[in-house]
Amino acid sequence: MTARPARADRLAAIHERCAAAAGGRWHSYLTLFGEAVVDVDPDAVVVAASVQKVAIACAVLAAVDRGELALTDTVELTAELVADGTGTLHLQAAFGDRLTAAHLLVALVTGSDNTAVRLIGRLLPGPRINDFLAAQGFRHTRVQPLPADERRFFLGTTTARETHELLRRLGSGTLLSPAGTGTVLRAMRWAQPGYCDGVRRDLPSAQRRRVAVKHGADEDCRHEVGIVFDADDVPAATFVFLADRLPDPDDYGGTHPAVRAHARLGRALLDAVDG
């Protein structure tokens, strides 16, 4: 048996053990050097939670590529657009700032900012985001516009297979322009500050910088998706771990069983990429 199939078998076995230990339903798709390693219920339509923010960022940057938006376009942060939850914009003591699209993209991807979602809706309404996703051939990855105001939307749904394909195209540079690709991947790879409870938890700093990640959590869902780069900075693995119906829905920290599973899988992924 060659080295790559051995690594693939080992990763598949680790995923199976981690998912069983965490409980819930897992919908996972993982490729290593272009080979499908984990393929578990990848076409189930699930609540996307904050992993959808990568798709939203790509839709905005595609509009920039087409000349319909500029990264310097601004929107006013008003009190009625503030959303609680993840991010930092809602922590301000006063509002009224004018924030650029460039600023909002970083807040959206690196900080998973819920207020940034509402502000981006002022620049690119939900139906136009969905038009972009449909044009890419995605059937189930959609935001959910509010009937009363199409510039407001919920994060909607996705599948593991479609999210994997979006990330694969992003990493290969075939989804956006080089500038747009770099914008998203820089934000996903930034770890100081950035999300490090899951896949990047047990990695030293140099290896953390090689992993582009986005996590999402909503009630009984804990998701983590991303790309692992090899030592030459080439995408080597693309992973999508979506899990719902999990225990401990009120635990949004690193102690959650699914987040612990992501940490074990992250260490295994880097070891597999590096041989």
In eight-state DSSP terms, residue 205 is: H
Which amino acid is present at 139? R
Which token pair is 194?
């950035």
User: Looking up tokens 């199976």, which residue turns up?
Assistant: 16
- pLDDT value of position 193: 82
Closest listed residue to residue 197, CA positions, set 212, 215, 209, 185:
215
- pLDDT value of position 3: 47
Contacts of 75 (CB under 8 A, 6+ apart): 98, 99, 101, 104, 119, 120, 122, 123
- pLDDT value of position 44: 98
- pLDDT value of position 1: 40
**Helix, strand or coil, per DSSP, at residue 144:** strand
Question: What residues are paired with 242 via a beta bridge?
Answer: 27
Rounded CA-CA distance 210/193 in Å is 15
- pLDDT value of position 53: 98
Radius of gyration over every alpha carbon of the chain, rounded to an integer in angstroms: 18
What's the number of domains the chain is made of? 1
We report the CATH number of the domain holding residue 165 as 3.40.710.10
List the chain pLDDT tens, one digit each, 275 residues. Answer: 444 578 899 999 999 999 999 999 999 999 999 999 999 999 999 999 999 999 999 999 999 999 999 999 999 999 999 998 888 999 999 999 999 999 999 999 999 999 999 999 999 999 999 999 999 999 999 999 999 898 999 999 999 999 999 999 999 999 999 999 999 999 999 998 889 999 999 999 999 999 999 999 999 999 999 999 999 999 999 999 999 999 999 999 999 999 999 999 999 999 999 98
- Does the predicted model carry a pTM greater than 0.75? yes
- Taking the CA atoms of residue 251, residue 104, residue 186 and residue 169 in that order, the dihedral angle to the nearest 10 degrees is 90
Question: What residues are paired with 36 via a beta bridge?
Answer: 31
What is the CA angle 49-53-56, rounded to 5? 130
Hey, what long-range contacts does 95-102 have (CB within 8 A, 24 or more apart)?
A: 98/74, 99/74, 99/75, 100/71, 100/72, 100/73, 100/74, 101/60, 101/64, 101/69, 101/70, 101/71, 101/72, 101/73, 101/74, 101/75, 102/71, 102/72, 102/183
**Helix, strand or coil, per DSSP, at residue 240:** strand
Taking residue 245's Cβ as centre, other Cβ atoms within 10 Å add up to: 13
Contacts of 76 (CB under 8 A, 6+ apart): 96, 97, 98, 99
Rounded CA-CA distance 62/210 in Å is 24
- pLDDT value of position 247: 96
Domain that holds residue 74: 3-274
**Helix, strand or coil, per DSSP, at residue 140:** coil
Which token pair is 242?
């979506």
- pLDDT value of position 254: 94
Residue 193: cis peptide before it, omega within 30 degrees of 0: yes
